[in-house]
């Protein structure tokens, strides 16, 4: 059974999916690849897991949390699972290129496939795909939008973003 709810975040509403025990999806509202609630899904009400996810995201947004410890369940192809597992290992405040990610996932020549798997990450922020960047360090695609990716990386860098988009310390 899939349960769902929407939770507020510093980056806009998030669609949270759970199997009742584990987080199975966390999508920015309107993000590419975000599912729409299906008729067989049930709205989650007063679920401890949803409350824990919301609390940990709030702590992360406030700079008080660097790692998440909610139980998750990822479902994908073997290569997607390998990519997502490598993404989970990217430390807070650091980035990794798609090429390095592909190599760490077992196929250094599968850079585009690693990018596609990254774009299909079902658990935004907690599986920190925002930490994956182009080989030159440039921000590239993000299912939640580049502005959110920039905001998440800015948060983790300890810098602040000014209105004009320039980062400052």
The question of whether 75 is a catalytic residue gets the answer no
Q: Which regions of the chain does DSSP assign to beta strands (E)?
A: 3-7, 14-18, 23-28, 42-43, 96-97, 132-133, 160-161, 167-168
Q: What is the DSSP string of 85-121?
A: HHHHTSPTT--EEHHHHHHHTT-TT-HHHHHHHHHT-
Catalytic residue, chosen from 83, 129, 133, 143, is 129
Rounded to whole angstroms, how far apart are CA atoms 102 and 99?
5
Phi, psi (degrees; rounded to nearest 5) at 28: -65, 140
From residue 106, alpha-carbon distances to 44, 94, 113, 114, 132 in Å are 37, 21, 11, 10, 16
Active-site residue set = 129
């Amino acid at each position: 059974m899939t349960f769902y709810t929407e939770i507020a975040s510093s980056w806009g509403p998030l669609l949270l999916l759970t199997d009742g025990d584990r987080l199975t999806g966390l999508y920015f509202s309107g993000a590419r690849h975000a599912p729409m609630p299906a008729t067989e899904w049930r709205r989650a009400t007063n679920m401890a897991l949803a409350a824990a996810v919301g609390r940990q995201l709030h702590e992360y947004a406030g700079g008080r949390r660097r790692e998440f410890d909610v139980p998750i369940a990822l479902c994908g192809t073997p290569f997607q699972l390998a990519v997502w597992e490598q993404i989970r290992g990217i430390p807070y405040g650091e980035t990794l290129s798609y090429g390095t990610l592909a190599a760490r996932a077992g196929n250094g020549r599968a850079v585009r496939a690693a990018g596609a798997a990254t774009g299909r990450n079902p658990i935004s922020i907690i599986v920190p795909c925002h930490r994956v960047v182009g080989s030159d360090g440039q921000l590239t695609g993000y299912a939640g939008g580049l502005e959110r990716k920039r905001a998440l990386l800015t948060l983790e860098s300890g810098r602040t973003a000014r209105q004009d988009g320039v980062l400052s310390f």
